[in-house]
Structure 1
Amino acid sequence: MAGVLDSVNQRTQMVGQNRLELLLFRLVGQQVYGINVFKVREVLPCPKLSSIPNSRSVVRGVSHVRGETIPIIDLSMAIGLPGIPQEKLSTSFVIITEYNRKTQGFLVAGVERIMNMNWENILPPPKGAGKDVYLTAVTKVDEKLIEVIDVEKILAEVSPLREDVTEELVARSTTREPANLPVLVVDDSSVARRQIQRCLTAIGLEVVTRNDGKQALEHLREVTQDGSKATDHFAMVISDVEMPEMDGYTLVTRVKESPALHDIYVMLHTSLSGVFNKAMVQKVGADDFMAKFSADELAERVMEILDRT
């Protein structure tokens, strides 16, 4: 499993085709969970862990991997389940991931396989599941329910990011020409939507949100049914990449091939590793790419974009 990203070229070919690969794993119990392979650097047997004084209980320790000191988060504990027992660490695994510009390891009980899937088969969690569940999506593999973990929610709780725009940028925003149109924000994570909306409203922008690419595309087509252009309704679109039903790459592809929509400025804003993203952004025709999440960087970039468009 250590070579989980060996066939990078094969995976980049899926860009714009609404496909992804899920790494399937287990925590405590028989439930199977999934994580996007593009966020995985490698999978390895649980290494020796060194404790961190005064750390949160979900952080089981740190480990030295490839010359880097990485925090190891017990994924079971992070989503409210019992943690992996100390005596079972020797048979457990760590998934090394890159999210939001940070590297961390997730301790799991076992790793199963990689599945090539279509985002159309990745569905939002059931509405009755509640707003506090640690899932962004569900799907089925071999008639078994697979739960896709909301890692952004977990990391926001374990290692919170500063979400407020600095007073300097807020003051600078007041000197700009007021924006007449809202920004369309597309993200399946409620945490990410809240972070982005808070950032943009701080600099005086109105925000409209949608939970996935399919919803966003339908909304854009709906508002332009009267013959208007997307630019008549929105100043720009800020979209996540990983989303159920339609991912951000596919959303950009559909927008850019539509005469009514193609002029709208689209920024992909994602927690995915930046290693492959430049080539992907160019392939689908997005106007910009930014790694999550820095409130100041996002606010500054958005103001620059709006000032020149």
Structure 2
Amino acid sequence: MTGILDSVNQRTQLVGQNRLELLTFRLNGRQRYGINVFKVKEVLQCPKLTAMPNLHRLVKGVAHIRGQTVSVIDLSLAIGGRATTDVEKSFVVIAEFNRTIQAFLVASVERIVNMRWEEILPPPEGAGKANYLTAVTNIENELVEIIDVEKILAEIAPVDETMNSAIVEEIAHAGENTEQNFVRRILIADDSTVARKQVQRAVESIGFEVIAVKDGKEAYEKLVELSDTDNIFNHISLVISDIEMPEMDGYTLTAEIRRNPKLKDLYVILHSSLSGVFNQAMVERVGANTFIAKFNPDELGNAVKAALVDTELKRSE
């Protein structure tokens, strides 16, 4: 396995370069935090905030920014820290997650750091399930924590995870006319516990078992392990992967699947809070079958249905 992963690392420049840029910032203390620059639209001195009735306790207020009304989330309070008091001297990081625009209130913004995903590591095992981290890294001998923004957003505005009954029915009957029924098992890779659980519940609601892993490296290791003993399609039907993950991102994972003769025919759905032309171009470049933005259960269901149709066609060839 070590040799395989060493080979993967040598080839990352041929795909998404397995790199990211982190915007680092601080909240109410010395700890440094990071957020992927691709999700950041701009950083501003905190504008005047307007209080509104019945706002969620984590929302400091709303602001009018570039013609939009945006909720400003107190990021320190959201991860269990002290509420931000010196708002006028604070900054807001305007970001796009899961098809919506949010503003995160932070004490100070530092700089952008270019890194490799191999340098981004899962949170320590002892961090517990209640933490708000997707990953950690070391910058200039200082621990930088990468916050699980999707977990925060799910607490403020939970998404509807119910899938359209017609889609559920269609998927339930998929494969009935083939000589061999599909293995109703899907591998899901996502570093956000909340996002991973959302996808898992949606997939389980349409009758599939789930193999859940927390990053691309773990996903690739699992796929290689399964394909070493048997035809991969006897174990899983498809892969649903996040893009931003510690150690190996979803682009690199997809490219490695396509390069592996035992895995190359697997249907890969990239499922990410990132959006836009950048993603679509990279999806085509690494050979993923499709990209969908988080999180819409009907779109996810339709993507799974398309994957089953594609797999059926390949098996019948």
Amino acid at match of 1:154: I
Give the CA deviation at 1:267. Answer: 0.8
- What's the Cα RMSD here? 1.6
- Given the alignment, which residue of 205, 225, 236 partners 1:202? 205
Aligned partner of 1:237 in structure 2 is: 239
Q: Does 1:185 align with 2:177?
A: no
Q: Does 1:38 align with 2:38?
A: yes
Say which structure is richer in helix: 2
Maintained 8 Å contact 2:32/2:143:
yes
**Is the alpha carbon distance of 1:14 and 1:78 closer, same or farther for their aligned partners in structure 2, counting shifts above 3 Å?**
farther
Amino acid at match of 1:117: M
**Is the alpha carbon distance of 1:169 and 1:287 closer, same or farther for their aligned partners in structure 2, counting shifts above 3 Å?**
closer
Maintained 8 Å contact 2:183/2:233:
no
Amino acid at match of 1:19: R
Larger CA deviation: 290-299 vs 160-169:
160-169
- Given the alignment, which residue of 93, 98, 101 partners 1:100? 98
- TM-score, scaled to structure 2: 0.89
Which aligned pairs between 1:243-258 and structure 2 lie closer than 5 A? 243-258=245-260
Aligned partner of 1:67 in structure 2 is: 67
Please list the CA deviations of residues 103-130 of structure 1 after superposition, one character each: whole Å capped at 9, or x if unmatched.
1000000000011111111111111111
Q: In percent, how many aligned pairs have the same letter?
A: 55
Which aligned pairs between 1:89-168 and structure 2 lie closer than 5 A? 89-168=87-166
- Given the alignment, which residue of 208, 222, 225 partners 1:222? 225
Give the CA deviation at 1:169. Answer: 3.2
- Alpha-carbon distance between aligned partners in 1 of 2:281 and 2:167, rounded to the nearest angstrom: 31
Maintained 8 Å contact 1:39/1:99:
yes
- Alpha-carbon distance between aligned partners in 1 of 2:160 and 2:107, rounded to the nearest angstrom: 32
Please list the CA deviations of residues 122-161 of structure 1 after superposition, one character each: whole Å capped at 9, or x if unmatched.
1111111110100011111010000000001000001111
Tell me which stretches of 4 or more aligned residues in structure 1 moved more than 6 Å. Answer: none
Aligned partner of 2:263 in structure 1 is: 261
Please list the CA deviations of residues 140-189 of structure 1 after superposition, one character each: whole Å capped at 9, or x if unmatched.
10100000000010000011111122334334443433632411111111
Aligned partner of 1:57 in structure 2 is: 57
Give the CA deviation at 1:285. Answer: 1.4
Gaps in structure 2 of 5+ consecutive residues: 1-12, 312-317
- Alpha-carbon distance between aligned partners in 2 of 1:280 and 1:224, rounded to the nearest angstrom: 26
Amino acid at match of 2:59: V
**Is the alpha carbon distance of 1:14 and 1:162 closer, same or farther for their aligned partners in structure 2, counting shifts above 3 Å?**
farther
Aligned partner of 2:168 in structure 1 is: 170
Larger CA deviation: 285-294 vs 60-69:
60-69
Maintained 8 Å contact 2:183/2:235:
no
Gaps in structure 1 of 5+ consecutive residues: 1-12
Give the CA deviation at 1:229. Answer: 4.0
Aligned partner of 1:16 in structure 2 is: 16
- Alpha-carbon distance between aligned partners in 1 of 2:188 and 2:44, rounded to the nearest angstrom: 36
Larger CA deviation: 212-221 vs 268-277:
268-277
Give the CA deviation at 1:190. Answer: 1.1
Maintained 8 Å contact 1:33/1:146:
yes
- Alpha-carbon distance between aligned partners in 1 of 2:200 and 2:36, rounded to the nearest angstrom: 25
Larger CA deviation: 169-178 vs 202-211:
169-178
- Alpha-carbon distance between aligned partners in 2 of 1:150 and 1:275, rounded to the nearest angstrom: 24
Give the CA deviation at 1:14. Answer: 9.0
**Is the alpha carbon distance of 1:25 and 1:15 closer, same or farther for their aligned partners in structure 2, counting shifts above 3 Å?**
farther
Matched position secondary structure for 2:182: coil
Figure out how many residues of one structure are paired with residues of the other and give that number: 294
Larger CA deviation: 155-164 vs 177-186:
177-186
Maintained 8 Å contact 1:100/1:292:
yes
Maintained 8 Å contact 1:179/1:205:
no
Please list the CA deviations of residues 174-226 of structure 1 after superposition, one character each: whole Å capped at 9, or x if unmatched.
34336324111111111111111110111111211111100011111111124
Please list the CA deviations of residues 240-271 of structure 1 after superposition, one character each: whole Å capped at 9, or x if unmatched.
01111111111111111111111111110001
Maintained 8 Å contact 1:38/1:273:
no
Maintained 8 Å contact 2:254/2:268:
yes
